[in-house]
């Protein structure tokens, strides 16, 4: 293996130490960041993610409030809860863990979140602000990837950036962020022709397709930087990314691993958004009373 490992765990740890200090300062000013985490149903992966997020909050002094709702919760009940949290002064930010059970409309649920409390940056108001270059919050996984690149002094400006995957959570917002950093961006998806050929153009290749080991070393330009967003559990229980690590790491100059790469960075960015939301709430409260 010749590639440098881009260590998200290590970077996230130092980011969290800074956030912890920031939270201590905010508390001295009477500002207490609080994150509401809503989970509907019993999806084991979602349960694990929510537990991680609560643990992260505790580590940096952010209070988390879990709302674990029954699988059969109606859309009306869920939206009613969000509306209550929207006006609750203890709640700075709200996160609804996705995916939701099939009978709930994710778009309507996300639209119910107060855009000032939008921990994930999923609300169309915030997506629009991101698109027009004046973001209020940053989407967690894309922002985590940008911070990981920048901390490792990987220049984005002028580079060929290829993003595989066009989800609202990762691919689309990441393309916008890379563009805002002056990358030349191509977005690939399941209908892209000659996927490997397009990937081989990339100086920076980000794969968020949700397909185990979709991209192998032969689709990577020698010396490229490879960011693997995928987490897939194979039947033998082995965890693999969307990139075949063994072959890709022979060709790339730098690469993330399936664990300790993008995941910890995503979680650190959620904490950043929660602190930002607490500051926004404080500013708005002061304006209301003056
Ligand atoms: N499900 C998978 N990723 C995410 C995420 O970043 N936020 C939320 N809310 N749900 C998710």
Residues 35, 274 contacting (CB under 8 angstroms): yes
d(Cα 86, Cα 224) in Å, to the nearest integer? 44
Q: Mean pLDDT, the chain, as a whole number?
A: 97
CB 222 within 8 A of CB 198: no
Is 84 a known active-site residue? no
Atom number in ligand 1 closest to CA 141 = 6
Which atom of ligand 1 has the smallest separation from the CA of 120?
7
Range from 36-40, 231-235, 246-250 carrying the lowest mean pLDDT = 231-235
Which listed residue (56, 116, 118, 120) is catalytic? 120
- Measured in Å, residue 96 CA sits from the centre of ligand 1 at 8
* Consecutive H or E run containing 175: helix 171-180
54 CB-side CA count, 13 A:
16
Q: Separation of 97 CA from ligand 1 center, angstroms?
A: 5
Mean pLDDT for the stretch of residues 102-113: 98
147 and 90 part of one domain: no
* Cβ atoms of residues 246 and 94 within 8 Å: no
Instruction: Please tell me the total count of domains within the chain.
Output: 2
pLDDT at 287 over 90: no
The position carrying tokens 């996160």 is 95
More confident position, 288 or 184: 184
Q: Is residue 244 part of a domain?
A: yes
| pLDDT given at position 128 | 98
For a pocket test of ligand 1, which of 46, 49, 56 has the largest count of ligand atoms closer than 8 A to its C-beta? 49
Query: Does any domain span residue 257?
Result: yes
In a domain, 123, yes or no: no
Ligand 1 pocket residue status of 169, Cβ below 6 Å: yes
Do residues 55 and 149 share a domain? no
Q: What CATH number is attached to the domain comprising 168?
A: 3.40.50.720
Confidence at 277, pLDDT banded by 50, 70, 90: very high
In a domain, 102, yes or no: yes
Is 24 part of any domain? no
Is residue 290 pLDDT above 70, yes or no?
no
Expressed as residue numbers, the domain containing 205 is 140-263
Amino acid 235: pLDDT: 87
147, 257: one domain: yes
Same domain for 185 and 98, yes or no, is no
Q: What is the pLDDT of residues 234-270, one digit of tens each?
A: 988 899 999 999 999 999 999 999 999 999 999 999 9
Let me know whether 85 and 195 are in one domain: no
Task: Specify whether 182 is located in the same domain as 252.
Answer: yes
Residue 98 Cβ contacting ligand 1 at under 6 Å: yes
* Whether residue 161 is found in the same domain as residue 94: no
Judged by DSSP in three states, 69 sits in strand
Cα 222 to averaged position of ligand 1 atoms, centre (Å): 32
Residue 95 to residue 131: CA distance in whole angstroms: 21
Whether 184 has a pLDDT exceeding 80, the answer reads yes
Evaluate if pTM is beyond 0.85: yes
Same domain, 158 and 87: no
Residues 57 and 161 in one domain: no
Q: Is the pLDDT of residue 286 over 90?
A: no
- For residue 83, what is the domain's CATH number? 3.40.50.10860
- Residue 75, domain member (yes or no): yes
Q: Is residue 152 part of a domain?
A: yes
Checking if the pLDDT of 281 tops 70, the result is yes
- What value does the mean pLDDT take over residues 78-82? 98
Q: Is residue 86 part of a domain?
A: yes
Q: Please check whether residues 109 and 145 belong to one and the same domain.
A: no
pLDDT attached to residue 1? 66
Q: Report the distance separating Cα 3 and Cα 144, nearest Å.
A: 20
Asked if residue 262 has its Cβ within 6 Å of ligand 1, the reply is no
């Amino acid at each position: 293996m010749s590639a440098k490992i881009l260590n998200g765990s290590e970077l996230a740890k130092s980011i969290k130490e800074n956030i912890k200090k920031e939270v201590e300062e905010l508390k001295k000013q009477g500002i207490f960041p609080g994150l509401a985490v809503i989970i509907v149903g019993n999806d084991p992966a979602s349960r694990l993610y929510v537990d991680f997020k609560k643990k992260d909050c505790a580590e940096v002094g952010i209070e988390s409030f879990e709302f674990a709702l029954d699988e059969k919760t109606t859309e009306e009940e869920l939206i009613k809860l969000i509306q209550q949290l929207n006006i609750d002064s203890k709640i700075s930010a709200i996160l609804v863990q996705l995916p939701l059970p099939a009978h709930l409309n994710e778009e309507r649920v996300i639209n119910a979140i107060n855009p000032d409390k939008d921990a994930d940056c999923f609300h169309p108001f915030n997506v629009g602000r991101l698109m027009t270059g004046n973001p209020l919050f940053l989407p967690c996984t894309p922002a985590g990837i940008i911070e990981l690149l920048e901390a490792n002094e990987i220049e984005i400006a002028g580079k060929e950036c290829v993003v595989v995957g066009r989800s609202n959570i990762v691919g689309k917002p990441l393309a916008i962020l890379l563009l805002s950093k002056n990358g030349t961006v191509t977005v690939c998806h399941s209908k892209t022709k000659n996927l490997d050929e397009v990937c081989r153009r990339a100086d920076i290749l980000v794969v968020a397709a949700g397909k185990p080991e979709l991209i192998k070393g032969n689709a990577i330009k020698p010396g490229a930087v490879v960011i693997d967003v995928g987490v897939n559990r194979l039947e033998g229980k082995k965890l693999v990314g969307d990139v075949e690590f063994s072959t890709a790491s022979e060709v790339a100059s730098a690469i993330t691993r399936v664990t300790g790469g993008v995941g910890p960075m995503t979680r650190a960015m959620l904490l950043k958004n929660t602190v930002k939301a607490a500051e926004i709430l404080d500013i708005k409260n002061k304006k209301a009373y003056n």
